[in-house]
A and B are shown apart, each in its own frame.
Chain A
């Protein structure tokens, strides 16, 4: 591929924060349309590439809410680099099912899983500085950075993601018609 060709392509980065990778699987559910997409899109940082940090991009697709300190750093890196940042899926939009921990005490949760659970004999709550600390609550990404568009669904269908991306890349305001707009 020549440099001029790569320059003309739309650069897309993707990441999963407090996500389940289901939105990325839905992205892959575009099936053979991925080949169409590959003609106009070049991927930057993504679980599907080996690029470690997000460079300047046209579109950033974010799956998952924000549940720990590393999520905050990654999200800010994407916002700095992506012209258009998109919240993909219920978790990125409202915290999703992981936000059902928001009414529980975080210390109690960690104690329950790492100390009090049957079969756990020793160790305790992991405390290595290598590990990102959890936030006391799970947040939608729009509470941390500005978000340009939202694709709802848990996950959004491959059809919905295709419709959104083709609208956006084609220069149209992205819009999901009734059958593609789902929260569940």
Chain B
């Protein structure tokens, strides 16, 4: 049995088993997210989809909708928390957008624009993880990883290859390649894999196609991610 809940004061219908995020999207309401993807089960690491329900901050990608819930999403309080989360992601990695091929097509950057982030505010970590350029078609820049595990999930569950994994604990957590050498070239990873196209930021990059799209025509140049994501079902 489904029902209705209030999303920023507007009634949203849902079916039994739908999460708040799924039902809100089905009703045309965008909720920011990085690790959530419509083709995969919820992951819950990015926390960008945080909403306020009954006075508590919860992940809307994981919490099933219930009849009569009052959900706050697009409020100064919740957007402020989302902005702080983005700022943490920016300082943890080396997000030098001016030299990144993903600039203009990057969900992390687009969300920072969407949420009015003018600086990352915290002290930068400047991690030092070497690039893996061993594969003939694809390059890995690990310093931009936000640990969404979308590549891990796509490679394991769709491509049935298990090329990627996260390892380490705390701030030492990082993305690795499942090969004895640790090099992408020593796996059966292919540029046609689902995992090759799923990275929301600039970690997994196709070689020889960088900077092909003119400024002004990139994914998030014309419109904000809140409208692009809803149009494209992302």
A and B bound? Answer: yes
Interface residue ranges, A against B (CB under 8 Å) = 87, 90, 93-97, 99-100, 102-103, 137, 140, 142-143, 147, 149-152, 154, 175-176, 178, 181-184
Residue of B95, B116, B126 most packed against chain A (CB within 10 A): B126
Residues of chain B lying within 8 A (CB to CB) of residue A100: 94, 96, 99
Chain A residues near B109: list those with CB within 8 A.
183-184
Which residue in A99, A152, A178, A181 is a CB contact (below 8 Å) of B124?
A99
Which residues on the B side are within 8 Å of A97 (C-beta)? 96, 98-99
Residue in A94, A103, A149, A175 whose CB lies within 8 Å of B96: A94
Those 6 A-B pairs whose CB atoms lie nearest each other, nearest first: A154-B98, A103-B128, A150-B119, A183-B97, A184-B103, A150-B118
In the assembled complex, 9 residue pairs joining A and B whose CB atoms fall closer than 8 Å, in A order, are: A93-B118, A94-B90, A96-B96, A97-B99, A152-B118, A178-B113, A178-B114, A184-B103, A184-B109
Asked, given contacts A142-B121, A152-B119, whether A137 binds B126 with beta carbons under 8 Å apart, the answer is: yes
CB of B118 within 8 A of CB of A176, answer yes
- The size class of the interface chain B forms with chain A is 20 to 34
Does B84 sit within 8 A of A, measured CB to CB? no
> Is B100 at the interface (CB under 8 A from chain A)?
yes
Cβ of B104 within 8 Å of any chain A Cβ, yes or no, is: yes
On whether the beta carbons of B126 and A99 are closer than 8 Å, the reply is yes
Closest to B128 in A: A103
List B residues 31-54 near A (Cβ within 8 Å): none
- A93–B119 contact, CB under 8 A? yes
Q: Mark B16-36, 1 if CB is under 8 A from A, else 0.
A: 000000000000000000000
A-chain residues with CB within 8 Å of residue B94 when the two chains form the complex: 99-100
Contact A175-B124, Cβ < 8 Å, known A96-B98, A154-B97, A183-B103: no
Q: In the assembled complex, which residues on chain B have CB atoms less than 8 Å from the CB atom of A93? A: 118-120
Complex CA gap A136/B6 in Å reads 53
Residues of B within 8 A of A147 (CB): 119
Q: Which residue among A102, A140, A143, A184 has the maximum number of chain B CB atoms within 10 Å of its CB? A: A184
Residues from 175 to 234 in B contacting A, C-beta threshold 8 Å: 224
Cβ 8 A contact of A102, one of B95, B99, B126:
B126
CA distance A143 to B123 in the complex (A): 7
| Cβ of B21 to closest chain A Cβ, rounded Å | 23
Determine whether B112 belongs to the interface, using a CB cutoff of 8 Å to chain A.
yes
Q: In the complex, what residues of A have CB within 8 A of residue B112's CB?
A: 183
On whether A149 and B118 interact (CB within 8 A), knowing A94-B90, A137-B126, the answer reads: yes
Contact partner, B119, options A87, A154, A182, A184, Cβ 8 Å: A87
Assembly CA distance A175 to B118 (angstroms): 9
Q: Which residues of B contact A149 (CB under 8 A)?
A: 118
Q: Which residue of A lies closest to B109 (CB)?
A: A183
Residue of B nearest to A174 (CB): B118
- A101, closest chain B residue (CB): B126
Which residue of the partner chain, among B96, B114, B116, contacts A90 with CB atoms under 8 Å? B96
New A-B pairs, 14, CB < 8 Å, besides A95-B126, A181-B118, A183-B98: A90-B97, A93-B119, A95-B124, A96-B96, A100-B94, A102-B128, A103-B128, A140-B119, A150-B118, A152-B118, A181-B113, A183-B109, A183-B112, A184-B109
B118 — which chain A residues lie within 8 A by C-beta?
Answer: 93, 149-152, 176, 181
* A137 cross-chain contacts in B, Cβ below 8 A: 126
> A110–B124 Cα gap in the complex (Å)?
24
The residues of B that contact A178 with a CB separation of less than 8 Å are 113-114, 224
